[in-house]
Amino acid sequence: MYLNLNILNPEQRKAVEEIEGPSMIIAGAGSGKTRVLTFKIAYLLESGVSPFEILSLTFTNKAAAEMKDRISKLVATSFEKIWMGTFHSIFARLLRIEADYLGFNRNFSIYDTDDSASLIKQIMINLSQPTDNPTPKAVHNFISNLKNKMILPKEFSTMAKSTFEKKIEIIYEEYQKALFKNNAMDFDDLLLKPIELFRRYPEILEKYQERFKFILVDEYQDTNKAQYTIIKLLSDKYKNLSIVGDDAQSIYKWRGAEIQNIFDFQDDFKECKIFKLEQNYRSSQNILTLAGNVIKNNKKQMEKELWTENDEGEKIHIIESMTDRDEAVRICRNIYDEIQRKKINFKDFVILYRTNVQSRTIEDALRNNNIPYLIIGGVRFYQRKEIKDILAFLKIIVNPQDNESLTRVLGLRAGIGKTTIDKLIAKAENEGIQIFELLKKISAEKDLSSKVKNLLIEITNYVYKFQYLQEEVPLTELVNSVVDEIGILRALRLENTVESEERIGNIQELLSAVAEFRDTDDEPTLEMFLQKVSLVADIDNLDNQKNAVTLMTIHSAKGLEFPVVFITGLEEGLFPVSGANMYEDELEEERRLFYVAITRAETKLYISFANQRYRFGTPSFQMKSRFLKEIPEDIYNSIITFENLKLKTGYRSGGEKKSVSGSAPSVKFNPTPKKKNSSLNVEDEFNDKFPDIKKGVTVTHNTFGKGTVLNTVGKGIDKKAEIYFDDVGLKKIMLKYAKMTVEDS
């Protein structure tokens, strides 16, 4: 197979052909960075480099899978020996090989955030510390931040000053000890332990330096200190390191990413060659112009000028709504309008928001209007209770030392209560052994009833039985046998509820995932399956084939693209999230996040904001986001206000059209109402709550006191007033919600 480099633009080709020494590829949004990475790997293979000598690091499994698929279409030679995947999956793989050097068994468990929080909770209880403030989850977040900065317990002990930090210091140390006892690592350890391994054993480092002579790193701007250190150590001998990134898309500071890593790359690698990918293939010119105008307001950035040969495209649509409910309804209206006009599908739309809490109102509107949707970032599949329960049973087969999984299994066994589990935990702690070691000799225990001891012996025998079977039977048969043994499907079928049916469906999906893993993975073992599910991310499960509108946070949307994008909630305190008193670096990160949101759009972009939004359970008046001021006037349509937004078309079930005049009712838009004979009650919707409101009228508001009406806009349900209150100044009031009286003239 001949590798045709002529399909690349000149700068892309230069970047691909540069394989010796360090290189930095600054890839603007939509500039084809995945193409460059895949072609570069293909070019390395065509140049005679062994796949065994290539390491390719990504930030999502989805990106790794896409790259593998593309490479398979570019080269005829086998490339399976390339180590390609996320940082966590790659270094979990390495640790499986070398774990014994650090005192771990290769069958170590990988704890997710829930497992870690559960372990920390038990530690806090053992230390007689309250678990309500701080919560175990908050403690784990703090420890995770320390690990991202490579601050270990010993180092932190010299830094801890406050009472809170002193508490964390003790918990952190005990947490690391407990992980080791459990033969377990958390996500952060998957990056810290390789560094420890390389520094303690230079011969191991040299082994992998020799192996990975060519290293490629995607999304370099999102690397944290630990990831940076691993890359530096591994590439130090041959320095054949290619990094791809875009400082303008660095949006993960909150989870430890250090944007300075990309700015410092030239200093770290003096011979570095720089390539800038500035041609955008994704977006229309107007969308690109908006992105450029927004990001230029950041002081800290690498200069680049994105351009495109695409059409100018439609202007940006800015939607002003009175409330967050109105915002959601108007989004639904526009989705149906777009589908009618352009004959596109629901899957062509994405609705983006700054925080997950914004999704509820949007979901309500989508459901009410029978719009199918897929939400990314809810309860992840592998976090659902029934799935976590089965995984716990599977984990103790592989690693009986895993106390967290074992106590979960014990808690699921009828006849074994919390008191018994607490006794076992305390006794194991006192004897300095793991709970499973205690179970092996449980028959000698005197303070447990014969019934309880028999149940505990059954669990011990379960582990022994399936440890034997995992060496004798295929993976799918093993997992099916476990599900059958624990009786979870039988129990759920007996419940015979809607919820139990959903859970049965989830378990069946898990069995399908096991079968797929068996058929596609190079090492289809239970151990590797558990590793894979431990490291799966929300975005890895995005189903591009499902015809549904996608809902997600902007952080989750990075790397994706959609024909039509809605960016919601452009209000101060929401986006940017922290309000007016932000540090400059925080504000710049928020602006980069806005830039990422904008550049997800291919052909059409909607930006919306509301004047009033429920926050913390109460309606709150919102200010327009400062980012709206950064949009050039010549690239957006007039703001869609209440007076000029018309509901042009209503729909009965079955698609029958009828005309509706007047302003769009606040929450009544429903193209396919569930009840066939339901219709919009226009008369009711447009009743005016304050018919006497006009300029100059004096009002008394229950909260704001006395004020004077300066102006009114809209009519009926959408009518609002600008009122200057003596005590609090100017307020925009939506009259349908107003709690006030009009004084007699």
CB 291 within 8 A of CB 633: no
Q: Which residues are part of the catalytic machinery?
A: 33-34, 218-219, 249, 600
- Largest Cα–Cα separation, the chain: 91
pLDDT of 505 = 85
- The per-residue pLDDT for 608 is 95
Band the pLDDT of 737: cuts 50, 70, 90.
Answer: low
The pLDDT of residue 341 is 86
**Average pLDDT for 416-435:** 91
Confidence at residue 639, expressed as pLDDT on a 0 to 100 scale: 59
Rounded Cα distance between 82 and 212, Å, is: 9
What is the pLDDT, as a whole number, of residue 517? 84
> Which of 121, 124, 137, 177 is closest to 153 using CA atoms?
177
The strand pair at 618-621 and 317-323 is best described as unpaired
Confidence band (pLDDT; 50, 70, 90) for 675? very low
- Check if the beta carbon of residue 221 is closer than 8 Å to that of residue 253: no
Q: Which of 111, 145, 148, 142 is nearest to 229 (CA)?
A: 148
How large is the C-alpha radius of gyration of the chain? 29
Q: What angle do CA 464, 421, 173 make, to 5 degrees?
A: 95
pLDDT score of 21 more than 70: yes
Q: What are residue 77's phi and psi, to 5 degrees?
A: -75, 160
Residue 545 pLDDT greater than 80, yes or no: no
Three-class SS of residue 170? helix
Q: Among 384, 379, 375, which Cα is nearest to 492's? A: 384
Coil vs helix vs strand at 549: strand
Within 13 Å, how many C-alpha atoms sit on residue 468's CB side? 5
Residue 112 CA to residue 58 CA, distance in Å, equals 20
Averaged pLDDT, 213-226: 95
- Of the pLDDT bands very low, low, confident and very high (cuts 50, 70, 90), residue 445 is confident
Percent of the chain surpassing pLDDT 90: 58
Q: What is the pLDDT of residue 684?
A: 35
pTM given for the model: 0.77
**pLDDT reading at 648 higher than 60:** no
Q: What is the pLDDT of residues 62-86, one digit of tens each?
A: 888 888 889 888 887 777 889 999 9
Q: Which tops the pLDDT comparison, 382 or 473?
A: 473
User: Given this model, what pLDDT does residue 689 score?
Assistant: 67
Q: Are 220 and 245 in contact (CB under 8 A)?
A: yes
| pLDDT exceeds 90 at position 713 | no
